[in-house]
Amino acid sequence: MKFSTREDIAAPIERVFDALSDFPRFEREILRRGASVSRIDTLERPGPGMCWISRFTFRGKPREVRSELAEYHPSESLRLLSRVDGLEGVMSVALVQLSPRQTRMFLDLELKPATLSARLFLQSLRLAKATLTRRFKSGTQDFARHIEDRLNGPQ
């Protein structure tokens, strides 16, 4: 199952990429939402090979997500691979400079089953694909506005 969207952000491409690759900020955000997160790599700078393990409870069951930064191209793109309960996810973010102060962000999320139970779970999600697509686009839009506000200050 694949979700794709794009958003224009009123900020220079370098600053947008810096906000997207502010991994400590994302770690703090995960902690604020009640999950735990630990970085399990030894890299000193952002780059391919960065890994995290996040733990949280979903539908009354403890879950563990392992995420790895697979690609990291400053001011261009990044790709994150994740796995939870037999479900594999690939999130790709690509940036295109529209002007010196305008950036277009392309965001793709692809979910693939690795087990039979994950296949059944994805099948049930397909029934709600239209709703999930709307929520994905709305969440991406909110995220883009949040980046804009943080970089440019509230308008």
Number of structural domains (the chain) is 1
The C-alpha angle 59, 64, 69, rounded to 5 degrees, equals: 130
What is the tens place of the pLDDT at every residue in 26-83? 999 999 988 999 999 999 889 999 999 999 988 788 999 999 999 999 999 999 999 9
Q: Please tell me whether residue 44 adopts helix, strand or coil conformation.
A: coil
Q: How far is CA 5 from the centre of its chain?
A: 12
| Tens of pLDDT, residues 35-49 | 999 999 999 889 999
Distance of CA 40 to the CA centre of its chain: 18
Average pLDDT over residues 122-140: 92
pLDDT score of 155 more than 70: no
Identify the CATH number of the domain in which residue 110 sits: 3.30.530.20
Q: Are 24 and 39 in contact (CB under 8 A)?
A: no
Rounded to two decimals, the pTM is 0.86
Domain span holding position 47:
2-152
CA proximity to 69, closest of 95, 86, 45: 45
In 3D space, the residue among 53, 84, 90, 57 whose CA is nearest the CA of residue 71 turns out to be 90
> Could you tell me the CA-to-CA distances from 125 to 6, 98, 100, 120, 130 in Å, in that order?
22, 35, 40, 9, 10
